[in-house]
Structure 1
Amino acid sequence: MTIVEFLNARLAEDESAAHAASPGTGGPERARADVGAKRGIVEGYNETYRECMDTLNNGAQSASEEDGAWSALHAWRRALEHLAAVYAAHPDYDLSWKR
């Protein structure tokens, strides 16, 4: 299971549970907004991954362009690792995602 698959599964669970969110935590709307924001981060990683692979597969125009692609991908990946850490007790959590 990839970190993206893991997070998408956990976010689906969180979204299903959003209806039970208490008013003290912002209620269901806030819980759904939180899930939506996290899904945006996961999608940002997916888009950057595709762009990075395209840059590398099509031959980066310069070493700086290649470095920039890898740096962006690394930053998004770190964000996913932070999101996944919330679910570290889950049996599908991969310890290699822990930083």
Structure 2
Amino acid sequence: MTIVEFLSARLVEAEQAAQAASPASGPPPRALAEVEAKRRILHGYNHAYRTCLHTLHQADGSAEANGAWSALHAWRRALECLAAIYDDHPDYDPSWKVGVTS
């Protein structure tokens, strides 16, 4: 399981929990906003990943490639911070711990 798959599953669970918490009045707007914000972070990471791969195929050691790697690394760290919330989950991979490189 990738960190993106792991976080996507946790966001589905969080959204379902928010929906179930207040079925009559609707889910708390803040809970849904938090889920959406985290989904945008996942989307940003996926976009940075694709951009990085594309750039690496076209440039060797250029500043553009280095910038793409730096951006991807920053997005990855953000995902690791989000995943750390769930470090007691059975599917959590300890290699995702912030500061641990794989």
* TM-score, L = length of structure 1: 0.89
Work out the number of aligned pairs and report it.
Answer: 93
Residue 41 of structure 1: aligned partner = 41
1:28 shift after superposition: 1.4
Greater RCO structure (CA 8 Å; 6+ sep): 1
Q: Distance in 1 between matches of 2:45 and 2:79?
A: 8
Q: Distance in 2 between matches of 1:62 and 1:89?
A: 39
Deviation string 1:40-77 (CA, Å, 9 cap, x unpaired) is 000000001000000011x2276211110100000000
Residue 83 of structure 2: aligned partner = 84
Stretches of structure 1 that go unaligned for 5 or more consecutive residues are 22-26
Q: Distance in 2 between matches of 1:61 and 1:7?
A: 32
| SS class of match (1:16) | helix
Deviation string 1:67-99 (CA, Å, 9 cap, x unpaired) is 101000000000000000011110000000002
Stretches of structure 2 that go unaligned for 5 or more consecutive residues are none
Residue 30 of structure 1: aligned partner = 30
Residue 60 of structure 1: aligned partner = 59
Q: Distance in 2 between matches of 1:62 and 1:10?
A: 36
* TM-score, L = length of structure 2: 0.86
Identity %: 65
Q: CA RMSD in A?
A: 1.4
Between Structure 1 and Structure 2, which shows a larger proportion of helix residues? 1
Deviation string 1:14-58 (CA, Å, 9 cap, x unpaired) is 00001317xxxxx6111000000000000000001000000011x
Q: Distance in 2 between matches of 1:63 and 1:4?
A: 28
